[in-house]
Structure formats: C-alpha cells, structure tokens
Amino acid sequence: MKRAVATLLLLLVPLSAAATAAPAKRTARRARPPIQLVWHVEDAQGHEVESRLADDPVNPASVVKIATTLWALERLGPEFRYETRCFARGSFDRERGVVQGDLVIQGSGDPDFHVENAFLLAEALNAVGVREVSGALVVNRWFWMGWENGSAGTEPDPVKRGLLMAGRLKQVLDSRRWSSATRRSWWEFAARNGRNGSTPPRVLVRGGIGVDGDTTRGELLVVHRSKPLVDALRRFDCFSNNDIERVAAGLGPLDELRGILAVRCNVPAEAIQLETASGLGTNRLSPRLIVRLLHEFRRTCERVGLTPEAVLPVGGCDGGTITRFFPLLSSGEFATCVVGKTGTLTSTDGGVAVLAGFVATAQGELAFCVAAPQAAGRLKSARGAQERWLLELIARHGGPAPRPCLPDVAPPDVGATVILVATRSP
C-alpha cells in the first residue's frame, strides 16, 4: 500500500510542476510593440505642416474609396443616373394583364438598387397593366440588387451573381412572398411616399430565373432611373460599403484609375498599387500621396459644384464611420469639424486603421492622413490613438471650426423615378 502511494506521488509531481510552470510560460510571451502612428498634414495651399514616415507606403484600406469617388465624378458627373429597363420578351396580353413569355431586366450598372427600387418597379409594371408573367424573370450581368458579401467583396462569377440578383427581384415583385424585413421596408416606403400600405404592388412570375446577355429584345414596358450618382456615392462612402466596386466596374480597368492618380498627384505610377476599388485586399499608398489625393478630390468636387462633405462622411452629422469610430471628434465643440474617410482591415497586412480627410480649425483647413499599421486585434486602441493625435492637432491650430450638416443620407428610392413606356391598351 505504501509503495502504491509513493508511486502515485511520483506521478503527481511532474503534473504539479507543469501546472506551476504554465503561468510562467504564459507571462513570458513577448509583448506586442505599442501602436505606432504615421501621418502627414498639409494646409489648404499644399504646404507641409507636419509629417512622420509619410513616404512609407501603407495599406489605405477603404480610403481608396476617395479615389474611386473622384474617378466616378470626373467620368460621369454628379447628376448621372443609371437606367434599368423592363422588357416583355413575348406577347403582352393587356386584357388579362399577362406577359406571355419572359420579363427581362436590362440593368446598366445601377450600384444602389434595393428593395425600395423594386417596389417602384412593381408599381410601374402594375400601372401599365402587368400583373403576371407566364415565363421567367431574366436579368443581364449589369443588374444589381441589394448588398453583396461585405468584406468578401463582389461575387466574381457573373452567372452566379446574376441568378442571386434575379432571385431577389422575383421575390420582392411578389408581395405574397415577402419576408418580414421586406414588409417593414414596404411600410416605411409607403409612409415616405404617401402610398396606401395595405395595398402593395404585385407581379407574379410563374417561371424561374435566368441570366441572359441579350436583354434588349421585346416590348419595352417601363424604365427605372436611379437617383443622382452623387447621392449613391455618399451612401457608399458614409457607410464604407464595398459595393462601390460596382461603380468602378462601369468606369474601366483599375489601371486607368492608377494612371489618373499618377498624373493628378504628380507621382510615378509605380508609387500607386491598387488591387481593388473598394480598399479590400492589398493596396499601397503613402500618407503623403493620400493627402495629395485629398487636394485633388477637393478640386474635382469644386469643378462639379460640390463640397467634399456632399459625398464623404462628417463626424457628428451622419451615422457614418467617422461618427461611429471617433466619438470625441463627433461630439461637443468638435462635432462637424472633420470630413473624410475611414479605412479598416482586420487582418490583411497585419491589420490597419486609417483616417484621412479635412479638418476645419480656427486657423484654417488642414488636409491630413493618419494611419496605424500592424493594428490587428488592436483596432479600437489604434482609433483611440488616432483620435488623440487629431484632437491635439486641432488644439495646436486654435481649436475646431464647425461646418453645417447636410440632410441625412437618403434611402435608395428617394430621387429615383420611373417612366411608363407601355400603355394598357394596344
């Protein structure tokens, strides 16, 4: 018996030693270095105010959206509207209200078409007499509806993406298939637009869904015209929505944007690395180059009759990312003094947090970029360090200068219109 107890004690000794050694091993882990900020600041004339490691490239994350917004405003203009056309591919029996064939949707790349816009489309189809479709709902590859995959970006397969969009539209056209979320959206839409919420529009599509490049054949029924581009860009930028890639898809290859930035910012094209138009993935811009981009962005806005706050979030004015991530800069005397763009990547390139834009001070406006590389797992701390840095910068320049707030970011149907092309009678 004594031998058994002794043996048990010998077995327990290594376990006890290991248990006491474990905390020591945990405490021996190397501490991560503190958050290191890099920044660049210039006045309105482009003169350097202060700088730290401003020529070292960083991943700008969603700050890339400023470049994409500049590109869209230059190419299309703020009042540009996308058209989504509805065709009856087959015959339209007006007496019965039935399209004998397919209902075909020809999109032109409207990046901000949502359930509210589908309500407008359904109302318009009902207005020209369409109640039912015997065939399928067919879309082309330039029709988008709703948001996509967030941080995963755009679905690369155009057929898979088209089927997803067609399925969404088919469900919203038929009010008897609405989810509770869609029904809530309808009641909000009805209240906003003076509709009778108890009588929603309905178009029943009896067939399936499809994706087809030839969507122009057939009788044109209705045309949906989006709200002005500037309003869509503001929604994308305020909420840092990666579906801004849809806007870029209609503008051209990213190499074209890279060339535009190189010329406008007076840098070699090699200084600019763009993998995406949203900021996802591996992109490279230096803080100094980002500030040059800000100056060029302001010039573009002025040329088309806008101010930066017409398309970028303003701390304390909207529910965008500056207001969400930087509470001190968005409240009290500092509210409304910062307009710009946040950028966040949780793991790519070791994680990064970026804030770039314009800050209004008592001594004049400053353009700035402050970045926190290698911030994975510490994004909240990184943003806190950026906020303190910017508050100190404002204090050194006489304190904040407020700016007026614009109206709230509008829902996607506000400003959109429909054109009734077909008539009820042949």
Per-chain mean pLDDT for the chain = 92
Print the SS3 string covering 105-130.
Answer: EECCCCCCCCHHHHHHHHHHHHHCCC
Is pLDDT of 214 > 90?
no
Is pLDDT of 23 > 60?
no
Only one residue has tokens 């840098």, namely 267
pLDDT at 209: 97
Return phi, psi of residue 273, to 5°.
Answer: -120, 115
pLDDT in tens, 146-176: 987 655 567 788 899 999 999 999 999 999 9
Domain with residues 38-77+231-396, CATH architecture: 3-Layer(aba) Sandwich (3.40)
- Where in 53-185 does DSSP place strands (E)? 83-93, 98-106, 132-133, 137-139
For domain 83-226, give the fold. D-tyrosyl-trna(Tyr) Deacylase; Chain: A; (3.50.80)
Rounded CA gap, 348 and 342, in Å? Answer: 16
pTM of the full structure = 0.90
Buried b (16+ CB within 10 A) or exposed e, 108-132: ebbbbbbbbbbbbbbbbbbebbbeb
The DSSP secondary-structure symbol of 45 reads: T
Domain ranges across the chain: 38-77+231-396, 83-226
Task: Compute CA distances 392 → 283, 313, 328, 362, 363, whole Å.
Answer: 29, 21, 12, 13, 14
Look at the chain and count its residues: 426
Please list the residues that pair with 219 across neighbouring strands: 88
Rounded CA gap, 315 and 320, in Å? Answer: 8
Rounded CA gap, 118 and 136, in Å? Answer: 17
- CA 330 to chain CA centroid, nearest Å: 21
Instruction: Provide, rounded to the nearest whole percent, the portion of the chain with pLDDT above 90.
Output: 86
Is pLDDT of 412 > 60?
yes
The string of DSSP letters for 135-146 reads S-EEE-TT---S
Token reading at 4: 């058994």
Is pLDDT of 312 > 80?
yes
Rounded CA gap, 299 and 263, in Å? Answer: 14
pLDDT in tens, 80-97: 999 999 999 999 999 999
Helix, strand or coil for residue 95? coil
